[in-house]
Amino acid sequence: MIRLDGVTKRYANGHQGLTEVSLTVHRGEFVFLVGPSGAGKSTLIRLLYGEERPTQGEVTIDHFRLKKLNMRQLPRLRRQLGIVFQDVKLLPTRTVFQNVAFAMEVVGASRKDIMKRVPQVLELVGLSRRRDHFPNELSGGEQQRVGIARALVNQPSYVVADEPTGNLDPDTAAEIMKLFQEINRRGATVVMATHAKDLVNQLQKRVVAIEGGRIVRDEARGAYGYES
Amino acid sequence: MSLNSIGYLFREAGRSLSRNSWMALASISTVTISLFVLAVFVVVSVNVNHVTTILQNQVEMRVFIKPKVPRSEEMAILHQAQHWPQVRRIDFFTKQQAAQNLKSEFPDQSGLFQVISKSNPLFDGLDVYTKAPQQIPVLAARFSRMPAVHNVVYQGMVVKRLTRLGHILKWTGWIVEGLLGVATLLIIVNTIRLAVFARRREIQVMRLVGATDWFIRWPFIMEGLTIGLVGAVVADVVIGVGYRWVLNRASVSLPFWPMAAWHPVVVETTVFTVAGGLAVGAVASIIALRRFLKV
């Protein structure tokens, strides 16, 4: 379970990213974060994976309390999370397979587990044929699939995505969104900040709208609700 | 840390060193040069200590008797001193014998011996051997108080001077090494920083997927240690070969000079250089990581 309790995030330069935000996401949910640029969606996502710490209030993910999370606990939290970015962050000198395997290597997985698990996730994201290609040989959509495979390979309970379809054309974005649905169907909790209006409307999932650092709307089977 | 991670560690350190091979080469050569200087100091110190020890073990003292003292008085001193408890053995020599000895020790200096044989400026004297080296100063003082004695020469003075030289060498060595150490440290810090910079994307991804801080740091520390160790090994090889060469040359041109043997010297330099190399490598990587990986 993810819980935000009266969370305020003020940056060192005085900018207030979030103000008194409270939100609960249960296991297995699929939540869209929507709102204009600069509303605080990214701040919220970054709080979830411990890149930012709340100024006031508390963020809790399972038993992790993020406000005072120490440097030993942060890696443990991150192993429960799969993080997907708009700018994928693939390693250009490694192949698709190596990029995904890297995430397992650095948490100390065995060669045997890596050889077994990586092909499974590549199969899931539909990139089995591309395993030995380098990122620059892939389309934007394929690159994002590699990013998703990397996020999933350590079997996280939560998948956190910051505009994963932001750089993609509508058809590709729809494909990626289907993939997230599939991930959610297999049991992972998904929290996604997005501007993809049509897809949000189409999927009929919970929608949390943020404006000026506050939650202004939280609907169980919501719509995007903004003119994009 | 699991076995998988250890394999990963060595792969990453090797990958990073080969990727920045020029920078790695630069730092390894700096380490080598600093450690070579260190090793030279060690070699010289060991040799000075070696000579000091040899001289300390030669329990000998020479008492010179004033000119014009009659032979009978000289003999009286000899017989008197033979009964002193510290004396193991005592030999009388005349100034003619002293001249002969000199001639056999330096056979090439024929001009000097012509002068000596005309009017011998040397003294009659006594060669005194003590039972233990620490008795030398006591005995020397006792001889010096005798009115017929001109002066007393014993190795103790030489030993004292050599010991002081040894101290000076040691301190000079530490200061020079300190300065070289700082320079070496800075070069390695830079090398590691470049390595961190070259791998910043990897580091970012590692942190996001939950690699621990030490897992991220270890390859860089390994890299620093490797640079230090390789530098030490190169310096040791150079010193080992070089000292063997010096020993060979010395046996030809300084046959009576007591040089410290090859094996103990090289063991000593190896201990110092390997310890120094590893220390500077470890400290440098930790400094580099402190400034770069604020994790």
Residues 6+ apart with CB under 8 A from A51: none
Q: Nearest CA to B277 among B243, B233, B223, B241?
A: B233
Q: Do B4 and A154 touch (CB under 8 A)?
A: no
> Which residues of chain B lie closer than 8 angstroms to A81, CB-CB?
210
CB–CB of A105 and B8 under 8 A? Answer: yes
The minimal CB distance from B211 to the residues A75, A81, A110 is found for A75
Query: Cβ neighbours of residue B156 under 8 Å, at least 6 residues apart?
Result: B133, B136, B137, B140
In the block, tokens 């709080």 appear at A47
Half-sphere exposure of B240 (CA within 13 A, CB side): 14
In this prediction, what percent of chain B has a pLDDT beyond 90?
15
Contact indicator for B169, B43 with CB cutoff of 8 Å: no
| Domain range annotation of chain B | 3-55+160-289, 59-155
Residue of B207, B208, B217 to mutate, testing the A interface (most A Cβ within 10 Å of its Cβ)? B208
Residue B290's alpha-carbon distances to B61, B193, B286, B295, in angstroms, are 61, 10, 6, 9
Give the residue from A18, A78, A21, A70 showing the smallest Cα distance to A48: A78
The DSSP secondary-structure symbol of A37 reads T
Q: Which CATH architecture has domain B59-155?
A: 2-Layer Sandwich (3.30)
Residue entry with tokens 């169980």: A220
- CA distance to partner chain A, nearest, from residue B217 (Å): 12
First to last CA, chain B: 19
Where do we find the tokens 């000075």? Answer: B48
3-class SS of residue A93 = coil
| Beta strand pairing call for A158-162 and A56-61 | unpaired
Residue A38's alpha-carbon distances to A15, A20, A35, in angstroms, are 11, 16, 8
pTM higher than 0.95:
no
Measure the CA–CA gap between A33 and A53, rounded to whole angstroms.
Answer: 19
Would you write out chain B's pLDDT as a tens digit for each of its 295 residues?
Answer: 566 777 777 787 777 778 778 888 888 888 899 889 888 988 888 888 888 777 766 656 888 888 888 888 888 888 888 888 888 888 888 888 888 877 776 666 667 677 777 777 788 888 888 777 667 778 888 888 888 888 888 766 677 777 788 888 888 888 988 888 888 888 888 888 888 888 888 888 888 988 888 888 888 899 899 999 999 999 999 999 999 999 888 888 877 777 888 898 999 999 999 999 999 999 999 998 886 565 4
CA-wise closest residue to A178 among A209, A155, A150, A144: A144
**A67-84 confidence digits (pLDDT tens):** 888 888 999 999 999 999
**Predicted-complex ipTM score:** 0.86
Q: Which amino acid is at B130?
A: T
Instruction: Show residues of chain B in contact with A102, CB under 8 Å.
Output: 202, 205-206, 209
Q: Contact at 8 Å (CB) between B124 and B151?
A: no
